[in-house]
Structures are given as structure tokens and as C-alpha cells.
Amino acid sequence: MLFADWFESPQPGRREALGPEAYVLRGFALDYVPRLLPELRAIQQAAPARHLVTPGGRTMSVALSNCGQLGWTSSRDGYRYTAHDPDTGKPWPPMPAVFLELAQAAAAQAGHPGFAPDACLVNHYVPGARLTLHQDRDENDLGEPIVSVSLGIPATFVFGGLRRTDPTQRVPVFHGDVVVWGGVDRLRYHGVLPVKEAEHPELGRLRINFTFRRAR
């Protein structure tokens, strides 16, 4: 297998069902990448990624930043959305137009037209970083989908059920893949297994994940 084949989605254009209203859109973001990466670097400069602390006092292995009207944060005081970066007191960087374009197009492709995200989490995974099973339920309107974009080194996305103990699917995600879930699947538990050692030709030893949400 060629180096580029390993990192990019093996079947771009394919839509794989994970549930009644949940899909993997293989390679959907690839055409957007030349416009995404410069905007990503601007966000990284304006609001550098940081390792947040959970309410239980554990430091997350994934480093996080945000763009959009609201940003998701965590501390010993709990999980919440804020209009300002707690580290700087400044508003989060605006959501770039290409981010919104991608999120809306992916949501529509997965059967969720009219998606209008106001928050985008920008997650940074280095090899070894992981995300334990959880639900996205800090948003006011749970009727809106989640759109998750993968860039950089591959990872294994874990998609479960409505209870933490339900069986899970392990879904390899590659550079350019997008996962969308909403409707009856909106509160499914999900996570990411520890990312394996790798190096992407554009992003190095890094997986970037954009998670688009409608928080309010």
C-alpha cells in the first residue's frame, strides 16, 4: 500500500451507515483540505490548543481549541460552552466560511439539511491520545446533528449505543473522512481509541478533528 493510500480514505465517495441516522462519508472533506488548513493554522495561533481538566480532576490527553460563536470547555467546575476563551478572555476565533460550508454540506449529505453550527471544537490528537466513551449532551437543542471531520493520521472511531454498556462498532477514520450522527442516533456513546504512531505528510504526527455542533 502506498504512503498516500494509507492516510487518505480508501473509498472516497462511499457512504457507510452506522445507524438509522448516522453515516461515515468517506473522503468527503478532501476537496476542502486546501482551504481548511490555512484557516486551521490561523485558529491555532489565535487560540492555541490546550489540555483541559475534567470535573473529576483528570487531564485530557486530547488538546482542544474552538472557533465559532461558542466554544466547549471543561474544568473542575464542569463542562460548558463559553463565548470567550477562558485562557485569554477574548472571543473565540470566528468560524471560517469554509468550515461552515463543509459542515452544512456533510450534514445534508447524511440526511440532516439546514444544519447551522455555532460551535466547532478543534481537537488535536498525538499518538497515544484517546477519547473515552461519552455522549454529546451539553447542547440546548439535541435535535441538531454532530458533524465530525478527520484530518491527518488515522484513528479508530468507536460508536456505541444509547447506554455506555451497549455494544460498540470500531470504525477506522482517515484523512478527509466525515462522520455525521443525529436524530435517533444523536445521543449514541462514542469515542476514539488510542491513536497509533504515524506521520502524515501535511500534518505530521497529528490527527485533527473538527466537531461541529449547534450549542444554542
Q: In which band, very low, low, confident or very high, does the pLDDT at 6 lie, cut at 50, 70 and 90?
A: low
Query: Hey, what's the cell of 183?
Result: 436524530
For residue 31, pLDDT beyond 60: yes
**Does some domain include residue 62?**
yes
Instruction: Tell whether residue 136 is among the known ligand binding residues.
Output: yes
Provide the pLDDT for residue 138: 95
The answer to whether residue 49 scores a pLDDT higher than 90 is: yes
First to last CA, the chain: 44
Let me know: does 124 contact 199? Beta carbons within 8 Å.
no
Q: What is the pLDDT of residue 58?
A: 93
Half-sphere exposure of 109 (CA within 13 A, CB side): 23
213 among annotated binding-site residues:
yes
Q: How many domains does the chain have?
A: 1
pLDDT at position 4 is: 45
144-164 pLDDT tens trace: 999 999 999 999 999 999 999
Q: Is 87 annotated as ligand-binding? A: no
Model confidence at 179, in pLDDT bands (50, 70, 90)? very high
Range of the structural domain that residue 139 is part of: 14-213
The reply, when asked if residue 5 is annotated as ligand binding, is: no
211 marked as binding residue? yes
Please check if 26 is assigned to a binding site: no
Q: Which three cell numbers stand for residue 21?
A: 441516522
Does 141 count as an annotated binding residue? no
Of residues 32 and 4, more confidence is placed in 32
Span 166-172, average pLDDT: 97
130: left (phi over 0), alpha (psi -120 to 50) or beta: beta
72 belongs to an annotated ligand binding site: yes
Residue 3 lies in a domain: no
Annotated ligand binding at 66? The verdict is no
**Average pLDDT of the residues of the chain:** 95
Q: For position 1, what pLDDT does the model report? A: 33
Strands laid side by side in the 50-53 sheet: 15-19, 22-25, 178-181, 146-152, 207-213, 119-125, 59-68, 50-53
pTM comes to 0.95
| pLDDT at residue 2, rounded to an integer | 35
- Separation of alpha carbons 156 and 174, rounded Å: 9
> Does 134 belong to an annotated binding site?
yes
Distances in whole angstroms, Cα of residue 127 to Cα of each of 13, 87, 143, 209:
27, 25, 33, 14
Write the pLDDT tens digit of every residue in 110-148: 999 999 999 999 999 999 999 999 999 999 989 999 999
In a domain, 131, yes or no: yes
**Residue 90 predicted with pLDDT over 90:** yes
Residue 5 lies in a domain: no
Cell numbers linked to 40: 486551521
pLDDT higher than 70, residue 174: yes
In b/e form, how buried is each residue of 114-132, taking b as 16+ CB within 10 angstroms?
ebebbbbbbbbbbeebbbe
Tell me, yes or no, whether 206 lies in a domain.
yes
Q: Is residue 2, in this structure, part of any structural domain at all? A: no
- Does residue 6 belong to any structural domain of this protein? no
Query: Could you give the percent of the chain with pLDDT greater than 70?
Result: 97
Compute how many other C-beta atoms are within 10 angstroms of the C-beta atom of residue 165.
9
To the nearest 10 degrees (0 to 180), the angle between helices 33-46 and 97-109 is 130
Residue 53 falls inside a structural domain: yes
Q: What is the CATH number of the domain that holds 166?
A: 2.60.120.590
